[in-house]
Structures are given as C-alpha cells and as structure tokens.
Amino acid sequence: MPRASIRDALRLRAAALQVLSGRSDSPSLQSSSVCTWDVFLRTERCALALKSRLVMAGSGVPNVLEAAAMRELQRILSARGQLLRIGHLALEHHIPAIVLKGGVAALTSAAPVDVTDVDVLVPPPHREAERLAELLDAEGFRATGPGATAHLAQRLAPNAVQIEVHFAIQDVEVNDAMWQRTRPLDGVPGLARLGAADQLWHLLVHTVVTHPYRRGALRDVLLTMEGLRDCAPAELREVERRIAAHPLSPHLDGLLAMARELCDGLPVRDRFRREAAANYVLRGPLSWLGFSRFWTSAFLTALFAQLGGVTDRRRELAWAWQPPANPSPWGFADRLERSLPRLGRWCRTGVRVPRLLVARIAAWPVAVAARRLAS
C-alpha cells in the first residue's frame, strides 16, 4: 500500500476549502491515495460537510470519503441521543446544564460537524457536577481516566460517544454574567447554550489556546462559522474586542477570518497551512512512533508553539514554571504533593522544565519539515 503523501494531503485541504466555500464550479477530490485521504480526514474531520457539498454540486463522492462521512454521522447521532438523555436528567433533578461546542451544532444545526465527546457545563459548586455524574453512572455509564482542571473523569457507555461534565471552561472565565446570557435550546428541555458571543469566543479559544494542534482544522473552522452566523453585529464586535486584548490575537483573528471567508463564500486564505502539514506528518510518516502519555502533551505543545511563534513559546515556558493547579495523575507524585506540598510542587516543576527542553529539541525537525512542506 502506498504511503500517505503530505503534499497531496495539503492539496486535498486546498481543494476542500474551495468546495466548502462554494468557490469550485466542478469540485473534484478524486486523485489522492487511500492513505493520504485517511491522514487528511483524521486531521480535518470534515467528511460529512465535504460529502454534502459534493452531492449538492452533483459531483462524485470518493468511497473513502463516503465511509468517513458515515462514521461522523453515527457519532453525531450518538451525541444527540446522549444530550437528550442528559437533558432529561437535568430537568428531572433541577440541575442547570449548558451544552458546549460541537454538541450545540449536533442538536440545532442543519450541517452538524463531527463530535468525539459531549461537553456539558453545570454551575458551581463542584458538587453539582458530581451529582450529574452520579446520575449518569446510575444510568449505566462508567468513569474512565482521570479528571481534569475543568471537568470530571469522562463518562462512557457502550457504543456511544463519551460525556464530559464540566464545572469550568479551560482558558475561559465562567462568571455570573455568562450564566445570565445563556439561552434555552429549542426543543431540548433541560439544556441551554451559551450566549452567541460567549459561544463564538469559547470556540475560538478552545481551538487556538487550549488545543493549538487543532488550529485551522477544517472541522473547527466550520464550527466557528456556525458560531459566527449566530452573532449579531454588536456581539461580533464584542468578540473582536476580546481577540484584540488576547496575547494570541493573530491566531484567534486568523481562525475568525477563515470562518468569515467561508461563511461569505469568498476565497479562503489558509492561515494554518503549517499546522496542517505538521498534523499530517504526525499522522502519516511519524505515526509509527506511538508517543507515550508522558511525552505526547509536551511534544505537541512544543511543536505547535514552534510553529505559532514567539508568544506561543513564551507562554509554553511560563506554564512549565508556574505552580501546578491540579493534582498529579501519577500516584507517587500525588502522594508526595499531599504530604509535602512545597517539595511536591518543586519536583513537578523539576520534571516539567527538562521535559519541555527535550520536547523542543525533538519537535524542532518536525517543525522544520512542516514549514518546508507548507511552503
């Protein structure tokens, strides 16, 4: 079987942007190998949207795209079912619950995007999130993996997407004003959604700041476009004000600009071609490496910080030095932090900083390759 071609995957991405924006009179995505398609679709997660545009244009749909679109649709339907179930529990037990990110599109959009999990936010105190999680456990879900700084351990049921019960939103301040701007989800009792400006801001921050490896992924551009369409002019100006005040404003503004061009049917300038190339390299030629849990996060952060620029690298270094905000996932380190907090924190920092330096060295050749391929 031929290997995935990174340059062909980038050509697929350029063609897909034309198709998604409606700029191609005779769209064609037939030329790439199955391996290249696989790398492209696992990175961009836009199969259902691409298939819909191709069908509307009367163009053929490659078999590999058809199969990926079916998998995405199955996950979207699963997410809808999970959210209806959560809405019923939240209504019955008087727990305010907000659906986040792609879950909103799964319930309300005529063109939903791929989802791998369902995110629901409940108000403080932390006990409210635990109460909803316990209700899910009583319905047959089970906790899997550790919790995080913003959500409890994921809840999993057979043949269904995972559920994350949030008590906070990473990198976004959740305050009383945000809760007051929430809106009910039409036709889904028990569930609400963020205000339009808050929803768009969360989508931008989640993609650019929280998960920089997803910058410019076509699935997230499409989801940002949905959030953009929902904003009134005054709400959009509020989001633009927040972008201007953020340290990573060039990346946030670039994602919003791509979503706006896509929404308006204009030629889309790809601001994240280097990030796409890096993801294709990791999922293609370097997929055999199978990075361990210990290195994956540090390596990805270092790689996309190098591609992002000086501000990204400074933020990465500042994070490595700052005191940890959540318990260590490693048993020995967690016990040390509980018994000797100051020593435990210094030990974690003593691991973080060298790991960052090693990750930067390992990521450098991949960043160089991504830049060359993207150019």
Final residue belonging to a domain, choices 228, 259, 282: 282
* Residue 169: inside a domain: yes
Q: At 137, which amino acid appears?
A: D
Nearest to 356 by CA among 311, 310, 303: 303
What domain count does the chain have?
Answer: 2
- Examine residue 260 and state whether it is found in any structural domain, yes or no: yes
Residues 57 and 187 in one domain: yes
Q: What is the pLDDT of residues 85-117, one digit of tens each?
A: 999 999 999 999 999 999 999 999 988 999 999
Q: Is residue 1 a part of any domain in this protein?
A: no
- Is pLDDT of 331 > 60? no
pLDDT at position 146, please? 80
Token digits for 35?
A: 């391996």
At what angle are helices 341-374 and 6-21 packed, to 10 degrees? 80
Specify whether 218 is located in the same domain as 328: no
pLDDT of residue 30: 64
Assess if residue 348 is contained within a domain: yes
Residue 148: CA count within 13 A, CB half-sphere: 15
Query: Is residue 49's pLDDT more than 80?
Result: yes
Q: Are residues 90 and 238 in the same domain?
A: yes
φ and ψ at residue 240, rounded to 5 degrees: -65, -35
Domain boundary, last residue among 231, 247, 282: 282
Can you give the pLDDT at residue 345?
60
Give the tens place of pLDDT for each residue, 269-302: 999 999 999 999 999 988 877 655 555 788 888 9
Q: Of 204, 185, 219, 216, which Cα lies nearest the Cα of 99?
A: 185
Residue with tokens 């369409």: 229
Average pLDDT of every residue of the chain? 89
Instruction: Looking at the structure, tell me whether residues 302 and 319 fall in a common domain.
Output: yes
Cis peptide before 125 (omega within 30 of 0): yes
Q: Is residue 361 part of a domain?
A: yes
Tokens read off for 263:
């929404």
Longest dimension (CA), the chain: 66
Residue 175 within any structural domain of the chain: yes
**pLDDT tens for each residue of 141-168:** 999 888 888 999 999 998 899 999 999 9
User: In the block, which residue shows the tokens 């994956």?
Assistant: 296
Compute the average pLDDT of residues 76-83: 96
In this structure, the answer to whether residues 30 and 127 fall within a common structural domain is: yes
192, 177 contact by CB (below 8 A): no
Q: At residue 140, does pLDDT exceed 70? A: yes
User: Which H helix or E strand runs over 42?
Assistant: helix 34-44
Are 178 and 110 contained in the same domain? yes
Q: Is 0.85 topped by the overall pTM?
A: yes
End of a domain among 216, 250, 282?
A: 282
Of these ranges, 248-262, 314-328, 335-349, the one predicted with the greatest mean pLDDT is 248-262
267 neighbors 356 (Cβ within 8 angstroms): no
Ranked by mean pLDDT, the top range of 277-286, 318-327, 332-341 is: 277-286
**pLDDT computed for residue 315 by the predictor:** 87
For residue 310, is it within any domain? yes
Residue 325 has pLDDT above 70, yes or no: no
Do 332 and 198 share a domain, yes or no? no
The DSSP string of 203-248 is HHHIIIII-GGGTT-HHHHHHHHHHHHT--HHHHHHHHHHHHTSTT
Confidence at residue 2, expressed as pLDDT on a 0 to 100 scale: 67
Q: Lowest-confidence range among 44-48, 181-185, 306-310, 340-344? A: 340-344
Domain region containing 208: 6-282
